[in-house]
């Protein structure tokens, strides 16, 4: 399936040049809508939903949704959906994309934003090619989600009634266009407030209760128990695997986290996550962290015998899934990869995807890559050969009978 690769690359460069870090997607949303109209999509087919009003963190705009009616011999077939996310990680702010042969690189010391401007380029190119070539296709929904990078919020809070009841979906978000990603991990995000007692560290340290010491003891306990980083428990068929990480450590809510060396730290705020393909195991990892913090708080006492305390909160960010190879969406995905000369590789992902929530919403969703490499780093670059294949794959998926 052929596409206009120069036009596709021009769109990608255009989108990469528009800043739109997670939660601040209004500008890239406007640029995508303009490019869609230029590609032949009627203005009344393009709209924003109100998912941002349900997302519990500030979000400039809702998800961008496009409705393409079916055409020709396939006009009355069941609706399918193509999706991506339009936000980037904050490290992409200030990116300066530059063409370098069959790559796009970055002239700035930032991440580039191929995750996921590549996906945006694929979906807009799909709409433009369907219109330009007047190709037969079923009814199609295009969905550009907000706040994927900060918790899959756009996909989580989209109303499925706004999507036109697609029977299957194809998500573009990382990796190779030949990888047919049919599963992903689930994750808890947790946070803990550690309450100690302030005291003059040079005059009466024994009267204080150190929140930083509680943190240190808790993390040492977690590490000793094998719950930090790559987590593997059990043997044989009972073996379970996951990961965990401790993220930002701050004072939180304006309170100092030991802002002076002569004061015993009385408050620390910590955030982290637990992940696994096993829907029960990532919660088990989270429970291990909770137990470690509670145990450490009891251990740290002052001269009056008083101990610290913790307030631990955890929320499931997204749920793991693994679709069967026999599902129509998987078969169509594999056939489309073969149809453009590739070799389909069925696999699962160790990160969360908007597909996690689509599957949770009842829409079976396969994920493909679109040329992104070294994402979320200052070494990020885009493989244009792989991006071109991703664009061709989208057209193949949309038009195959």
- The single residue listed with the structure tokens 């993390």 is 219
Q: Which CATH number fits the domain that encloses residue 291?
A: 3.30.70.360
Query: What range does the domain containing 148 cover?
Result: 5-185+320-399
Quote the pLDDT of residue 82: 98
C-alpha 308, offset from chain centre: 36
> Which one-letter DSSP state was computed for residue 370?
-
Identify which of 1, 23, 9 has the alpha carbon closest to the alpha carbon of residue 384: 9
**Which domain-ending residue is among 269, 297, 318?**
318
Distance separating alpha carbons of residues 322 and 94, to the nearest angstrom: 37
Phi first, then psi, for residue 205 (nearest 5°) are -60, -25
**Which domain-ending residue is among 251, 284, 318?**
318
Whether 369 and 258 map to the same domain: the answer is no
Whether 176 and 282 map to the same domain: the answer is no
Q: How many domains does the chain have?
A: 2
Peptide bond into 175 cis (omega under 30): no
Per DSSP, what are the bridge partners of residue 291? none
Whether 153 and 24 map to the same domain: the answer is yes
Whether 340 and 261 map to the same domain: the answer is no
Tokens of 147: 């706040």
Whether 19 and 146 map to the same domain: the answer is yes
Per DSSP, what are the bridge partners of residue 98? 105
Quote the pLDDT of residue 268: 94
**Which domain-ending residue is among 318, 349, 365?**
318
Are 164 and 67 within 8 A, CB to CB? Answer: yes
Identify which of 52, 38, 211 has the alpha carbon closest to the alpha carbon of residue 128: 38
The alpha-carbon radius of gyration of the chain (Å, integer) is 24
Whether 144 and 41 map to the same domain: the answer is yes
Whether 155 and 128 map to the same domain: the answer is yes
151: CB partners within 8 A, 6+ apart: 57, 189, 317
pLDDT in tens, the chain (401 residues): 689 999 999 999 999 999 999 999 999 999 999 999 999 999 999 999 999 999 999 999 999 999 999 999 999 999 999 999 999 999 999 999 999 999 999 999 999 999 999 999 999 999 999 999 999 999 999 999 999 999 899 999 999 999 999 999 999 997 788 899 999 999 999 999 999 999 998 999 999 999 999 999 999 999 999 999 999 999 998 899 999 999 989 874 455 555 668 889 999 999 999 999 999 999 999 999 999 999 999 999 999 999 999 999 999 999 999 999 999 999 999 999 999 999 999 999 998 999 999 999 999 999 999 999 999 999 999 999 999 999 999 999 999 99
- The single residue listed with the structure tokens 């809702």 is 62
Whether 235 and 130 map to the same domain: the answer is no
Are 253 and 269 within 8 A, CB to CB? Answer: yes
Whether 164 and 202 map to the same domain: the answer is no
Whether 79 and 27 map to the same domain: the answer is yes
Cβ count near 126 (within 10 Å): 29
Whether 234 and 261 map to the same domain: the answer is yes
- CA separation, residue 109 to residues 86, 105, 373 (Å): 21, 11, 16
Query: Whole-model pTM above 0.85?
Result: yes
91: CB partners within 8 A, 6+ apart: 110, 111, 376, 377, 378
Whether 205 and 294 map to the same domain: the answer is yes
201: CB partners within 8 A, 6+ apart: 208, 261, 262, 263, 264
Q: Which CATH number fits the domain that encloses residue 349?
A: 3.40.630.10
Distance separating alpha carbons of residues 360 and 36, to the nearest angstrom: 29
305-317 pLDDT tens trace:
999 999 999 999 9
Are 212 and 221 within 8 A, CB to CB? Answer: no
């Amino acid at each position: 399936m052929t596409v206009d690769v120069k036009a596709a690359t021009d769109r990608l460069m255009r989108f990469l040049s528009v800043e739109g870090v997670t939660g601040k997607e209004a500008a890239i949303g406007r640029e995508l809508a303009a490019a869609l109209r230029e590609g032949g999509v009627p203005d009344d087919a393009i709209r924003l939903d109100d998912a941002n009003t349900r997302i519990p963190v500030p979000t400039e705009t809702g998800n961008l949704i496009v409705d393409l009616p079916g055409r020709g011999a396939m006009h009355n077939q069941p609706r399918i959906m193509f999706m991506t996310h339009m936000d980037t990680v904050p490290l992409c702010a200030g990116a300066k994309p530059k063409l370098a042969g069959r790559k796009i690189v970055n002239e700035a010391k930032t991440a580039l934003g191929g995750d996921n401007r590549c996906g945006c380029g694929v979906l807009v190119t799909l709409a433009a090619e369907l219109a330009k070539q007047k190709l037969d296709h079923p009814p199609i929904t295009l969905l550009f989600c907000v706040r994927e990078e900060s918790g899959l919020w756009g996909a989580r809070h989209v109303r499925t009634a706004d999507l036109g009841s697609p029977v299957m979906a194809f998500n573009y978000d990382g990796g190779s266009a030949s990888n047919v990603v049919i599963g992903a991990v689930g994750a808890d995000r947790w946070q803990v407030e550690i309450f100690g007692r302030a005291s003059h560290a040079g005059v009466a340290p024994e009267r204080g209760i150190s929140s930083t010491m509680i943190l240190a003891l808790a993390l040492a306990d977690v590490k000793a128990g094998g719950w930090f980083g790559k987590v593997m428990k059990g043997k044989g068929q009972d073996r379970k695997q996951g990961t965990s990480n401790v993220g930002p450590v701050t004072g939180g809510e304006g309170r100092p986290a030991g802002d002076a060396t002569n004061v015993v730290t009385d408050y620390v705020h910590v955030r982290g996550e637990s992940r696994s393909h096993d829907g029960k195991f990532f919660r088990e990892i989270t429970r291990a962290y909770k137990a470690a913090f509670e145990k450490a708080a009891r251990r740290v006492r002052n001269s009056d015998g008083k101990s610290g305390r913790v307030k631990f909160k955890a929320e499931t960010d997204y749920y793991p899934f693994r679709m069967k190879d026999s599902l129509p969406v998987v078969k169509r995905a594999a056939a489309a990869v073969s149809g453009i000369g590739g070799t389909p590789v069925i696999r699962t992902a160790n990160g969360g995807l908007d597909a996690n929530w689509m599957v949770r919403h009842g829409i079976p969703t396969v994920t493909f890559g679109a040329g992104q490499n070294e994402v979320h780093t200052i070494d990020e670059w885009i493989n244009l050969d792989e991006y071109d294949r991703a664009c061709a794959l989208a057209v193949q998926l949309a038009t195959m009978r």
